[in-house]
Amino acid sequence: MSSPTSTPGRRKRNRDDIPATPKSTRRRGQDSSNGDLRAMPTSPATDIASPAVHDTSLFSSPRRSVLPSEVDMSSPLMYGTPSSRVEARQRPDLGSIRKAPQVDLHSEPPSADGAVASEQALGQKLVIWGTDVNVGTCKEKFQRFLQRFIDPTSNEDENAGLDLNEPLYMQKLEEISVVGEPVLNVNCSHVQSFDADLYRQLISYPQEVIPTFDMAVNELFFERFPDSILEHQIQVRPYNALKTRNMRSLNPEDIDQMITISGMVIRTSQLIPEMQEAFFQCQVCAFSTCVEVDRGRIAEPAVCRNCNTTHSLALIHNRSAFSDKQMIKVQESPDDMPAGQTPHTTIVYAHNDLVDKVQPGDRINITGIYRAVPMRENPRQSNVKSVYKTHIDVIHFRKTDEKRLHGLDEDSDQKLFTEERVQILKELASKPDVYDRLSSALAPSIYEHEDIKKGILLQLFGGTRKDFSQTGRGNFRAEVNILLCGDPGTSKSQLLQYVFNLVPRGQYTSGKGSSAVGLTAYVMKDPETKQLVLQTGALVLSDNGICCIDEFDKMSDSTRSVLHEVMEQQTLSIAKAGIICQLNARTSVLAAANPVESQWNPKKTTIENIQLPHTLLSRFDLIFLMLDPQDEAYDRRLAHHLVALYYQSEEQIEEEFLDMAVLKDYIAYARTYINPRLNEEASQALIEAYVDMRKIGSGRGMVSAYPRQLESLIRLAEAHAKVRFSDKVETIDVEEAKRLHREALKQSATDPRTGFVDISIITTGMSATARKRKEEVAQALKKMIQSKGKTPAMKYQQLFDDLRGQSEAAITKDMFEEALRALADEDYLTVTGKTVRLL
């Protein structure tokens, strides 16, 4: 493979002094183990020379008109080690398989190289062909990066447990020596902040730079931990390259560069054993030789070099070397695609230990090298399809939804905001009326209901997540749950639809159409693998988002019961078909319910109107009534609003769409970056508010607030602080939370009999007055029975009539029965059929 045409190239690279060896296709690992290897050279000049000895052809593959050559990753340049104990491992991800044919270097005396050549005269500045990468400098730089890089503000989960004030990657190396997993993940943004030039090189010439990094790491590692035993040499896996974020923006310029894209796995192939090296044995003299696979083809040696017999070599399969490979199809994640288009897919190849790391349905960030391969030339066809096949060779996977199962931080949704965007958002936040502005931008087509919109706005922002697991309480719920009830046709569904469209992780279900499994999770047997697969339902899917449930009242009881756990503990326990697990479902619930009698009955309590269990109702932070106010001024404004809706001009609509985008970003930004905490005054205000709430009721012997209400207040106050982009919860936040909470309560927890707000309607399902009255009736009945003297049995109807006659207040049959039941509970009497017996 060492062809004479490449000699000038070598000359340019100042390699004339090195004798060319013919055995260019020898495998690296063997090189090392044979013992005939050179020690890792220290000076850059000889350093670059060593690979040339091995395989000159490696330096001649063209970069499709962009760059004339590339380096073979499996060359000893990359894997020559100072210590030969550890075998290097091929990195098919960097493209050792693909070696393009050689180019005639005569034809192109590149100017850049000319300059380099002059420098080379000094024996100092050598670069890899076609790049501006100098192996020595690059290595040095990377080693310096490893030794010095400190990131005190790191909050990545991977760095948990590391001392942030010590060099980060040295600690990781130490970890490798202990754990023995020879993979070093390097965050590209770290490299960038440390040395922008190195980062640029890494992005532009990953094929050349990453092996150099490998080399650097291994040198450093074995210097430090000379006794560690690793399976193979450490491989550097960069991730988080900022080059590309979106699959859609990939274009021909990205070919052969390192990119990071996000997407969702839609299909994975079977494992493909890919031949790396073919082993041939001569049938005559048993001489063996190895041939590397070159672009999927094996050049079968025609003549045995030992005995010179022609066509005597046979391929021995089980002595050939194979590597694992898997094809993965990745689809654009639905969040970052333009409306009205279909998602793009990309083919990704995973190699070696990255095989089977991801499953269909996973959302992942992929860092890899983007490749374009011309379609296979068919010898039978004179002309070829002019299309390239593109794929990505993966270097690093990062699952973004891992946290859904493990529950760590929430940087998964991290949306990148440009400087200007942040500036716009901050400007907006600094306006005093930002709260009103945002709430009016929310669903502008829905008229009025300002408080409800404000409530929903706070729900969109959510409270601050607090972790009390150390004290045994577990996570505090940060999500705000809201229930809307009201007459049909008051645009509840529309509001829900709007919210669902606004938030990135929203789910919309209807109570009628969803079953318990559809909401939670179900176990399915994969038809192909016969494996049990856990499929997640709406609640789990909306983790960190909002689950909109329409027609909440129509939901069956068993379905509703799963909501109990979700709405307070924010988890979902599954025990089905051998799978027992607890999934996170940190979702806010926005539900809408219609009254039982189709029209809201103002004479009844909320509970009676919507017939939902109070255990569930008490889990809603805010319950709003959406009623038809039926007054003239309102009607007029409504009419105006609707008519305007129908003839507004294009520009106005345009303007509004802008608002929606801003609103989206505003919420996303606040959710990610703002974590307000209570300050002293605010805590004081909260305490006061709570005590006041308790006091209101205590005068009449009713409880008007429970700790749950206090928690709601805190959440709402925090959310309001988030709206202001404030890191502190201040008194104004508490004031607004109080106001909103009171408004909601006024609507939903007013006892229609007394007109007082009574929280027990929601917490126990019955107002305190009603309970008191029940007791009174029971007592009256008891007194009446006692006054009748010793009669062991009475007629039911007669007793009822007597009681009615005696009492001043009207006694209904229900009340009478309730009283009887109460007395039966006291073991005072029993009711059998139509007779009442005293005990």
Partner 1 sequence: MPSSHDWINKPLGVVEAMFAQSNSNPEWEAKVLEYFKGQLREKESHSWVPSLNDVPLHYLKPNSLVKFRCLVQDMFDPEFYMGVYETVDPSTKANVLRCGKYKDVTECGVDLNSRNTVTAERQTFYCVPIPGESPWAKESYGCSSQARVVPSTSYVPSRQKRSYEEDDDDMDTQPQKQREPHTEPHGNGDSKRQETEAPSSQTTAPSDCSSHLDLNFPLPGERGPACLVKVYEGLDSFKLNDTLEIYGILSVNPVLTVLGEEKDPSLLLLNPTESMETPEEQRAHDPPASLVPRLHMLYARPLQHNNPLLPSAPTEDQSAFVSSFLVEMASVRAELLAYLTHVLLGDGLAAEYLLLHLISNVYTRRDVLPLGKFTLNLSGCPLNSYTERLYQIVQQLVPCSYRLSMSLHTMNSMRLVPKKDYVANRLVSGALQLARNTSLFLDETQLEQGQLDSSGVRNITALGNLISWQKVDYDFSYHQMEFPCNINVLVTSEGRSLLPSDCQVPLQPQVTPPNMEEYLTTIHMAQFTSQINKFRVYLSLARTLDYSISDEVTKAVEDDFVDMRKDDPQSVTAEDLHRMLVVARLLSLSLGQTTLSRDGWMRAKHIDMLRRSRTEQQKSLNGNEP
**Min. distance of Cβ 401 from partner 1 in angstroms?**
11
Name residue 30's amino acid: Q
Give the integer Cα–Cα distance in Å for 734 and 725. Answer: 15
**Min. distance of Cβ 294 from partner 1 in angstroms?**
11
**Member of 558, 575, 647, 827 binding partner 1 (CB under 8 A):** 647
Please report whether residue 432 would count as binding partner 1 according to CB under 8 A. Answer: no
Please report whether residue 656 would count as binding partner 1 according to CB under 8 A. Answer: yes
Q: Which CB, 15 or 449, lies closer to partner 1?
A: 449
Q: Which CB, 577 or 661, lies closer to partner 1?
A: 661
Size of the site for partner 1 (CB under 8 A): 89
**Min. distance of Cβ 439 from partner 1 in angstroms?**
14
Token digits for 208?
């050349």
Q: What is the DSSP letter of 58?
A: G
**Member of 19, 22, 111, 297 binding partner 1 (CB under 8 A):** 297
User: Among 99, 95, 88, which residue's Cα sits nearest to residue 31?
Assistant: 88
Q: Which CB, 30 or 359, lies closer to partner 1?
A: 359
Please report whether residue 646 would count as binding partner 1 according to CB under 8 A. Answer: yes
3-state SS string for 724-750: CCCCEECHHHHHHHHHHHHHHHHHHCE
**Min. distance of Cβ 105 from partner 1 in angstroms?**
11
Q: Which CB, 372 or 794, lies closer to partner 1?
A: 372
**Member of 229, 302, 387, 416 binding partner 1 (CB under 8 A):** 387
Contact between residue 186 and residue 193 where contact means Cβ atoms under 8 Å apart: no
User: Among 64, 787, 68, which residue's Cα sits nearest to residue 370?
Assistant: 64
Please report whether residue 266 would count as binding partner 1 according to CB under 8 A. Answer: yes
Segment holding 678, helix H or strand E:
strand 677-678
User: Please, is 482 exposed, middle or buried when counting C-beta atoms within 10 Å of its C-beta (0-12, 13-18, 19+)?
Assistant: buried
3-state SS string for 355-384: CCCCCCCCEEEEEEEEEEEECCCCCCCCCC
Q: What is the DSSP letter of 100?
A: P
**Member of 143, 189, 497, 675 binding partner 1 (CB under 8 A):** 497
Please report whether residue 245 would count as binding partner 1 according to CB under 8 A. Answer: no
Give just the sign of the alpha carbon dihedral 25, 28, 34, 38.
positive
Please report whether residue 64 would count as binding partner 1 according to CB under 8 A. Answer: yes
Q: What track of x and - describes contact with partner 1 for positions 9 through 48 (by CB under 8 A)?
A: ----------------------------------------
Q: What residues from 323 to 382 belong to the interface with partner 1 (CB under 8 A)?
A: 325, 327, 329, 331, 334, 338-347, 349, 360-361, 372-376, 381-382
Q: Which CB, 251 or 470, lies closer to partner 1?
A: 251
Q: Which CB, 494 or 684, lies closer to partner 1?
A: 494
Give the integer Cα–Cα distance in Å for 712 and 127. Answer: 63
Which residues contact residue 379 at a Cβ distance below 8 angstroms, ignoring those fewer than 6 apart? none
Residue-level length of the chain: 839
Q: Residue for token digits 């939903």?
A: 748
Please report whether residue 386 would count as binding partner 1 according to CB under 8 A. Answer: yes
Contact between residue 324 and residue 274 where contact means Cβ atoms under 8 Å apart: yes
Which residues contact residue 411 at a Cβ distance below 8 angstroms, ignoring those fewer than 6 apart? 155, 156, 672
Give the integer Cα–Cα distance in Å for 637 and 643. Answer: 10
**Member of 135, 173, 216, 275 binding partner 1 (CB under 8 A):** 275
Q: Which CB, 580 or 633, lies closer to partner 1?
A: 633
Q: What residues from 498 to 527 belong to the interface with partner 1 (CB under 8 A)?
A: 498, 501, 513
Strand partners, 565: none
**Min. distance of Cβ 635 from partner 1 in angstroms?**
5
Name residue 164's amino acid: L
Q: Which CB, 33 or 497, lies closer to partner 1?
A: 497
User: Among 210, 165, 207, 153, which residue's Cα sits nearest to residue 186?
Assistant: 210
Q: Which CB, 306 or 352, lies closer to partner 1?
A: 352
**Member of 640, 739, 772, 788 binding partner 1 (CB under 8 A):** 640
Mapped onto helix, strand or coil, the DSSP state of residue 94 is: helix
**Member of 1, 298, 696, 822 binding partner 1 (CB under 8 A):** 298
Q: Which CB, 108 or 231, lies closer to partner 1?
A: 108
The number of angstroms, rounded, from the C-alpha of 634 to the middle of its chain's C-alpha atoms is 44
Q: What track of x and - describes contact with partner 1 for positions 88 through 117 (by CB under 8 A)?
A: ---------x--xx-x----x---------
Q: Which CB, 389 or 564, lies closer to partner 1?
A: 389
Alpha-helical segments (H) within 629-679:
632-647, 650-673
